[in-house]
A = this chain, B = another copy of it.
Amino acid sequence: MKFNMRSARDGVAALAACLVMVGCATGEAREPEHEVEAVFASPSTPSPEAHAGEAAAAEVHADALATYEVPPPKAEHANVGEPASAVAHGLERLNVVTDFSPEVSAPRLDPSAFLDPLASVIGAVEIGQRVYIAPFASLRGDEGQPIHIGNETNVQDGVVIHALETIVDGVGQLQNTVQVNGAHYAVYIGNRVSLAHQSQVHGPAWIEDDVFVGMKSLVFKAHIGRGSVIEPTANVIGVTVPPGRYVKAGTTVTDQATADALPDITDTYAFRSLNEAVVHVNTSFADVYAGRKPAHAPNAKPAPTHPK
Contacts and interface: CB of A to CB of B under 8 A. Distances in A.
A53 B128 CA distance: 41
A157 B154 CA distance: 19
A112 interface: no
A303 B165 contact: no
A164 B285 CA distance: 14
B82 A304 contact: no
A38 B143 CA distance: 45
Interface size class of A (residues with CB under 8 A): 35 or more
Interface string A270-301: 00000001000100110011000011110111
A250 B235 contact: yes
Interface of A: 19-20, 22-23, 25-26, 34-39, 57, 59, 70-74, 76-84, 91-94, 96-100, 102, 104, 106-107, 118, 120, 122, 134-136, 138, 140, 142-143, 156-158, 160, 162, 164-165, 169-171, 197-198, 200, 202, 215-216, 218, 220, 232-233, 235, 237, 248-252, 254, 277, 281, 284-285, 288-289, 294-297, 299-307
Contact of A307 (B34, B59, B200): B59
Contact of A301 (B84, B169, B300): B169
* Copies of this chain, count: 3
A111 B171 CA distance: 32
Contacts of A76: 77, 79
A295 B96 contact: yes
Contacts of A83: 25-26
A235 B232 contact: yes
A86 B58 CA distance: 35
